[in-house]
Amino acid sequence: MKLRNTACIVFLVFLSVLFLAPIFIVLMNSFKGQFYITDAPFVLPSKETFAGITNYLNGIKKTDFIGAFFRSLFITVVSVFAILLFSSMAAWYMARKDDKLSKIIYYSFIISMTVPFQMVMFTMSKTANTLGLETPIGITVLYLGFGAGLSVFMFSGFIKSIPKQLEEAAAIDGCGPIKTFFSVIFPILRPTAITVSILNAMWIWNDYLLPYLVIGNEYKTIPIAVQYLQGGYGSRDMGALMAMLVLAIIPIVIFYLISQKYIIKGVIAGAVKG
């Protein structure tokens, strides 16, 4: 048993090092001169190769990183808020309303999870253009549509485990449906809500294809801005690229570390219960 535990610990440490190595390599190379990155990408910066924060300053200047950062932050926060609000309310209604229409809508959400984005991206781009959704506010509507499937699925599974007596007691106390949801149901959904927030925030923050197709160069998000460090004929500023990748992952890593304890709890509650 002791040998098995030791082997398990060694294996997990190995996996941790394996997963963290790419992040460490990017961080390490972000402080090197760009000509030294391709020659010795796995070597620690030396006195000769150390470039200080030059790569960070060049990257911020070349990509308008500050503007892209706040656009990505706005799109991510608004989209996640909309997904949380509307998917949780929809899931509550469908979990409590046991009729054919609710079941059809619920399974439509589930089926949407299996449809590849590439299958609908051209139709989606044309629809977004027709409806005038080619703005940071408009794209949040598209993220709501793409993120609702998994979110409704997770919320529905958790809501089915909540006793109906709580809602009946709230109704006796004079609460209407809206007050019952926000005062009774939504606070109970906290673990699943945080899990949904993390999963969607990581996806939206790092998404390149949807913003590129919908809002393009006019409202560059961080992934699009970083792509502009790729020059013509394969030329690229590797130092600035590494530095901008480090700045891009810092916010989402901080958010994940703060909220990680709720992930497993929320996934299990949303996928198993009910």
Q: How confident is the model over 247-269, as a mean pLDDT?
A: 74
Q: Does pLDDT of 80 surpass 80?
A: yes
The answer to whether residue 201 is domain-embedded is yes
The answer to whether residue 180 is domain-embedded is yes
Question: Among residues 139, 168, 128, which one has the least CA distance to residue 79?
Answer: 139
Strand partners, 236: 230
Residues 6 or more apart whose CB falls under 8 angstroms from that of 271 comprise 153, 154, 157
Number of Cβ atoms within 10 Å of the Cβ of 69: 18
Query: Is 41 strand, coil or helix?
Result: coil
Domain range for 220 is 64-230+241-271
Q: Which pLDDT tens digit goes with each residue over 173-184? A: 888 888 888 888
Q: Cβ-count burial of 55 within 10 angstroms (0-12 exposed, 13-18 middle, 19+ buried)? A: buried
The answer to whether residue 221 is domain-embedded is yes
Tally of CA atoms within 13 A in the half-sphere of 252 that contains its CB:
22
Amino acid at 108: S
Provide φ and ψ at 236, rounded to 5°: -160, 150
Residue pointed to by tokens 């402080």: 31
- Distances in Å between the Cα of 118 and the Cα atoms of 6, 122, 210, 213 are 45, 8, 10, 11
- Write out the two tokens for 158: 């958790």
- Would you say the pTM of this structure is higher than 0.95? no
Q: Which of 22-31, 48-57, 87-96 has the highest mean pLDDT?
A: 87-96
Q: Does pLDDT of 225 surpass 70?
A: yes
- What is the structure's pLDDT at 71? 92
The answer to whether the beta carbons of residues 221 and 244 sit under 8 Å apart is no
Q: Does pLDDT of 160 surpass 60?
A: yes
Q: Which pLDDT tens digit goes with each residue over 60-77? A: 888 888 888 999 999 999
Query: Is 50 strand, coil or helix?
Result: strand
Tell me the average pLDDT of the chain. 84
The answer to whether residue 35 is domain-embedded is no
- What is the structure's pLDDT at 274? 44
Residues 6 or more apart whose CB falls under 8 angstroms from that of 122 comprise none
CATH number of residue 82's parent domain: 1.10.3720.10
The answer to whether the beta carbons of residues 229 and 237 sit under 8 Å apart is yes
The answer to whether residue 146 is domain-embedded is yes
Question: Among residues 196, 99, 148, 265, which one has the least CA distance to residue 273?
Answer: 265
Number of structural domains (the chain) is 1
The answer to whether residue 256 is domain-embedded is yes
Q: Does pLDDT of 269 surpass 60?
A: no
Q: Does pLDDT of 233 surpass 60?
A: no
Query: For residues 274 and 270, what is the distance between their CA atoms, to the nearest angstrom?
Result: 8
Rounded (10°) angle between helices 136-159 and 65-96? 40
- Write out the two tokens for 130: 């027709």
Q: Which of 52-56, 209-213, 226-230, 259-263 has the highest mean pLDDT?
A: 209-213
The answer to whether residue 246 is domain-embedded is yes
Question: Among residues 82, 213, 214, 94, which one has the least CA distance to residue 145?
Answer: 82
Confidence of residue 113 (pLDDT cuts 50, 70, 90): confident
Q: Does pLDDT of 234 surpass 60?
A: no
The answer to whether residue 39 is domain-embedded is no
The answer to whether the beta carbons of residues 146 and 116 sit under 8 Å apart is no
